[in-house]
Amino acid sequence: MENICRPIEEALVALKIPLKTGVAYGTVWEAGVNAAQYKVPLTDTSVINVNFPLFSFCSMMSKATALLLPHNATEAGSFVSFDLQYIGRKLQSNRALQGYWAKLVHSHAVFDRAKGVPRLRLSYQEPVARTRYLLCQAMELFAVGHEYGHHIEDHSLGGIAGADADFGNISHRHEHEADLISALVSSQIGANPNAPNLFASTGAGAVLMLGATDLVRRAASNKYR
């Protein structure tokens, strides 16, 4: 958590966004791809809890996505392209990837955690491994940054983000405000010239995180039908 929260708080300082009296954070061993922010009564402090399965979900979803993206090798290095036709053909023709995506979404929709998801090994020398790392980092930054957004915007009811969030009972305005803060922070972190992350700076990690949790949410809504 510190490796995620420290750069978020440094970015907030750089953006001159006050953190008030601060945030306490940690992980909880509960099922569900969720993170939550709770106000400490009578203070300007919040507690941010992240369910441990959220990190494994980001890791596996970033791997599943990185394996779909075409990586083009040139003399200057390897570049990722976003050819949707290529991605569609690869997913249709690769049964192992199909199974990985299906099990990944199904297990989190039904069991709130990874269960029975097949292992796909990556070589750390492969360009896809670097893409996977950057995607995972961008997803985690957005998810946790979202909870910092609730704290900064003083959302007294507390914010819950993830696949189990009930948006019927949570203000959409609050969620959008927290998303905007998180996107701003992610952009600041991703634009660091010493450790650039295009997926964070452009919002691609945020889109993947929101889209992935929506897939799980929609699958969960149909699991008993």
Q: What is the mean pLDDT of residues 138-164?
A: 81
Residue 49 is classified by DSSP as E
pTM of the model as a whole: 0.89
CA dihedral angle for residue 31, residue 25, residue 160, residue 100, rounded to 10 degrees: -40
Question: What's the CA gap between 162 and 212, in Å, rounded?
Answer: 9
In this predicted structure, the answer to whether residue 207 has a pLDDT above a threshold of 80 is: yes
DSSP line for 126-190: SHHHHHHHHHHHHHHHHHHHHHHHHHHTT-TT-EEEETT--TTSS-HHHHHHHHHHHHHHHHHHH
Could you report the per-residue pLDDT of 65-121, keeping only the tens digit for each?
999 998 887 766 678 888 889 999 999 999 989 999 999 999 999 999 999 998 888
Q: How many other CB atoms are there within 10 angstroms of residue 184's CB atom?
A: 16
Q: Does residue 35 or residue 74 have the better pLDDT?
A: 35
| Per-residue pLDDT, 165 | 52
Nearest to 142 by CA among 202, 69, 194: 202
Residue range 15-35: average pLDDT?
Answer: 93
Average pLDDT over residues 167-183: 82
Cα–Cα distance measured from residue 209 to residue 57, given in angstroms and rounded to the nearest whole number: 10
How much is the average pLDDT of 37-42? 90
- pLDDT band at residue 225 under the 50/70/90 scheme: very low
